[in-house]
Amino acid sequence: MKEVKHYICEICGTEYNNKDRCVNCEKGHCKPVKIKGAKYLSLDRNAKGYPTSIHVEMEDGQVIAYKR
């Protein structure tokens, strides 16, 4: 019987055979800190009321826009 050991990045779910590569993957992800703003359409155009885009501040200070 063989024992198989692998590591999984807790941020993106990628599997690695090497612990150092997994640690580097986890450290390499820039995580969101807070929502800085959101854009909406009128309820006539978007009856569910969800935002069409949000602006997210990341831990490095950058603000990134995400659109649906």
State the average pLDDT for the chain: 96
Instruction: Give 12-32 as a DSSP string.
Output: T--EESSHHHHHHHHHHPPPE
pLDDT tens, position by position, 56-67: 999 999 999 999
pLDDT at site 50: 95
Q: Is the pLDDT confidence value at 68 over 90? A: no
d(CA 39, CA 64): 13
pTM score: 0.73
Smallest CA-to-CA distance from 66 within 36, 43, 46, 41 is with: 36
